[in-house]
A and B are shown apart, each in its own frame.
Chain A
Amino acid sequence: MLRRIGTTHVVSPLSSFFSSVASARRLQMTAVSASQAREHADAPEAVEMNFLQAINSALDLALSRDEKTVVFGEDVAFGGVFRCTLNLSKKYGSQRVFDSPLSEQGLVGFAIGMASAGWKPIAEVQFADYIFPAFDQIVNEAAKMRFRSGGHFHCGGLVIRSPSSAVGHGGLYHSQSVEGFFNHCAGIKIVMPSTPSDAKGLLLQCVEEEDPCIFFEPKRLYRSMVEPVDPGYYTIPLGKGKILCEGRDVTIVTYGAQVGVAMKAAERAAQEGISVELIDLRSLKPWDREMVTQSVRKTGRVIVTHEAPKTSGIGSEIVSCITQDCFLSLEAPPMRVCCLDTPHPLNERLYLPNELKVCEAIKYITGY
């Protein structure tokens, strides 16, 4: 069984597409105030970074600020299979940036132990698809440690970061979006950013959190998404979404790499006179219910879209809350555009909730 793909990043035909998404994003940002849309991106010394470099910058700063912060996982020492930990072992030493044996339940359990002793372990699970061997440690242990001890013990310093979501050719075990499994688990926090700037600020916030956090990194954005990033230290609070463009006719709620897809669809809709309000949740647990509610009350329509499969995906929770919060405002049934309820196939063009599917949903719901 081939478990790990090669360490060289394969240049995919999709990468040029998503590079255009990145440039399209910059154009679209003129629709909202610059300070809101580009938090920390207009710093005097902003540096062009791709997604993985922003992660590396965050880890570098986290390690430099606190001697009790460590970074570890499989293949982390040499720089990681996506190069997110490049040069950190040289800079901070092998006691603080190190490889673990190949065991997800082991490395997560080890990290929980370190956190329970007051340190801040940033554990890497190499692909989100392989987080399930650690599911028991995360759900039964990390999430419940504070609660079961009446607040006397906790592993609040724990951060688990993991590459996630489709990459074009990952098949069943290098493409999964698993956040829905953890969304049903009280006691952990879940984050999935869509831009380098957000990734850096949110990851540093996760490190500062005193609750266990899972940080998913959409891996097809690692090299394709580039933007100016503040090289200094900054955090972005959890539980706060981001309005990427304001609109009147329909609200789209999404997160992760799907933000780029939704942005493309919104542009096409605009050409047909439909005004889309696009929300990037960024933080999934806790999520910005208030922002979504206000938006849907204004537009009267909502599409939730994510790469994870439809049944029991996070979209289900969001749609249920919207129905409860915005019932009197809804002019059409809330819609979900998600991956199919099948395992993730190698050929994913019709599997993914692509731009065409989102466009059809926009037409359907605005014409309801």
Chain B
Amino acid sequence: MFRKSSHAVMHSGGLFRTPRPLCRALQEALMKAQSVWNLDFGGTPTVDELTFHQRKYPSTPMFHVLDLDGRVVNPKQEPEVPKETLIKMMEAMLRQQSIDLILMEAQRQGRISFYMTSMGEEASAVGTAAALDMRDELFLQYREAAALTYRGYTVKDMVAQCMGTIENELKGRQMPIHYGSRALNVHMISSPVATQIPHAAGAGYVCRLENERETDPNKKRICAAFVGEGSASQGDFHAGVNMAATMKSNTLFLIRNNGYAISTPSSSQYAGDGVFARGIGYGIPCARVDGNDILAVFQTVRKARELIRTTNQPVLVEALLYRSSHHSSSDDSTWYRSRDEVEVFSNLFLPVARFEKYLERKLLWTPEQSRSLSQKVRQETLAELHRQEKLPKWPVSSMHDDVYKEMTPEMHQAQKELEEHYERNKKEYNM
């Protein structure tokens, strides 16, 4: 979205004049008392001229490594990434892109009920996943499937979840794209937005306590919560980040600011300096990064992880990017934004193409590899769709499982009654 920027200059001259001698006794008394507010005034607790403080424009610049042609702008900031990791990052983005194309089309054909793509946002998810350790716990929102793909979630896993087949170990209970994997340390996605933020704060507190007891540095881990900028308006965002700060949780908050919450532009979502500035209000380290630059995301998250581990503070990273696709298969974004706007982002800031050029320059990748991998994954996804369409769903008896760890007597009774009902009416259910 192209918002007209009115550049307001803050008049804060009072802060720069030599202050008149302040009341010494008052200063000393307040320096003694300041800890009651958990503040440290650095020697100057009061001013004698009233000033209202505002922090809005100019907005905080975002960190980037690559230019639009995939060239490194500042060699000192180019992260050292193993070749295998760079290739894995590229492959994960391409795989997710290909999977998205096929599954979105499958939804249009009525083969699955719902879908959300990650178009244009692959770099933020993959860059983050690559910079984290496999044991770090991920708490996703819903547009971070590429992070799962990077960790090894397969086409088969995704199709099984989207179709709710017997092969979906999650038993087909949630809408499509609500993935999760205990083996990959990725917590189950749920639809209510922002609820995962205080979860990541609590689990991050567990990480801190366990890290303090753990002697092997390689076994120390953190939690990472992925949050859209719209979700950051929820009360749970305030609760989770604030509590992570006071409890010193080992948690990363990764904000995907893609400019829209369905149809709501960021001008209706907030008035401050993005979500970034709020983290500063909670007293934690914050960074803003070009979300279309996977190396910038990688470098930022890797440094954030080090900071979290060494200072026992949560860190907030805001990645600025653009939602190229509709919000979901239930949305037509042309109702609220122009095609021109979408095309500018789709053609200009391409996260995947940008990284591809970088890898080509390093002789690690070729366009042919992109075409080949994309085609292979599209075929793999199509084949998996065909195969799983023939699979049964989970049995009727499973409908009462997992409400509690053990079944209560009434649950047993209800389960039995439902199975008997189903047997009596099987033909009409046509399942």
Contact = CB atoms under 8 A, between A and B. Distances in A.
A147 B188 CA distance: 11
Contacts, number: 152
Given A105-B198, A148-B174, A113 B204 contact: yes
A119 B197 CA distance: 18
A286 interface: yes
B411 to A, nearest CB: 9
A154 interface: yes
Interface residues of B, number: 48
A146 B203 contact: no
A43 to B, nearest CB: 29
Contacts of A210: 405
Contacts of B243: 100-101, 103, 106-107, 110
Interface in B186-219: 187-188, 190, 192, 195, 197-207, 209
A105 B201 CA distance: 12
B373 interface: no
Contact of A289 (B172, B246, B410): B410
Interface centre among B195, B207, B242 (most CB of A within 10 A): B195
A152 interface: yes
Contact of A150 (B168, B195, B202): B168
Contacts of A152: 169-170, 180-182, 188
A141 B192 contact: yes
Contact of A154 (B198, B204, B236, B405): B405
A148 B401 contact: no
Contacts of B18: none
A141 B195 contact: yes
Interface string A180-193: 00000011010000
A152 B187 CA distance: 9
Contacts of B170: 148-150, 152
Interface string B134-147: 00010100000000
B240 interface: yes
A173 interface: no
Contacts of B206: 113-114, 117-119
A187 B187 CA distance: 18
A147 B173 CA distance: 8
B404 A140 contact: no
B25 interface: no
Given A95-B209, A103-B243, A148-B188, A109 B197 contact: yes
Contacts of B181: 152
Nearest to B180: A149
Contacts of B239: 101, 103, 105-107, 109-110
A45 to B, nearest CB: 33
Contacts of B377: none
A246 B168 CA distance: 52
Contacts of A156: 405
A114 B187 CA distance: 13
Interface in B129-161: 137, 139
Interface string A152-176: 1110100000000000000000000
Nearest to B248: A95
Contact of B240 (A110, A114, A118, A119): A110
B195 A140 contact: yes
Interface in A282-307: 286, 289-290
Contacts of B404: 146, 187, 189, 211
A154 B188 CA distance: 10
A121 B188 contact: no
B35 interface: no
A146 B405 contact: yes
B201 A110 contact: yes
A354 B203 CA distance: 45
B403 A146 contact: yes
Nearest to A144: B190
A235 interface: no
Contact of A114 (B188, B195, B205, B401): B205
- Choose among B172, B180, B402 the residue with the greatest number of A CB atoms under 10 Å from its CB: B402
B195 A136 contact: yes
Interface in A54-93: none
A112 B188 contact: no
Contact of A112 (B182, B202, B247, B408): B202
A113 B405 contact: no
Given A114-B203, A146-B403, A153 B190 contact: no
Interface string B394-431: 00000001111100111000000000000000000000
A228 interface: no
A351 to B, nearest CB: 32
A97 to B, nearest CB: 13
Contact of A109 (B190, B199, B410): B199
A146 B402 contact: yes
A286 B202 contact: no
A103 B242 contact: yes
A243 interface: no
A152 B223 CA distance: 18
A110 B202 contact: yes
Interface string A113-148: 111111101000000000001001100110011111
A111 B202 CA distance: 6
A110 B172 CA distance: 27
A290 B410 CA distance: 10
A148 B178 contact: yes
A186 B399 CA distance: 13
A130 to B, nearest CB: 14
Q: Which has the most chain B C-beta neighbours within 10 Å: A100, A110, A121?
A: A110
Nearest to A156: B405
A39 B205 CA distance: 38
From B180, B199, B200, name the one whose CB has the most chain A CB atoms within 10 angstroms.
B199
B110 interface: no
A207 to B, nearest CB: 14
A100 B210 CA distance: 19
A109 B201 contact: yes
A334 interface: no
A109 B209 contact: no
B169 A150 contact: yes
Given A103-B242, A103-B243, 8 more contacts: A106-B198, A110-B240, A113-B204, A146-B403, A148-B178, A153-B188, A211-B404, A289-B409
18 contacts: A95-B209, A103-B239, A103-B242, A105-B236, A105-B239, A106-B236, A109-B202, A110-B201, A110-B205, A110-B240, A111-B202, A113-B205, A116-B187, A118-B206, A149-B170, A150-B169, A156-B405, A286-B408
A-B residue pairs, 5 tightest by C-beta: A109-B198, A113-B202, A106-B239, A113-B199, A150-B171
Interface of B: 137, 139, 168-174, 178, 180-182, 187-188, 190, 192, 195, 197-207, 209, 223, 235-236, 238-240, 242-243, 246-247, 401-405, 408-410
Interface of A: 95, 98, 100-101, 103, 105-119, 121, 133, 136-137, 140-141, 144-154, 156, 186-187, 189, 210-211, 239, 286, 289-290
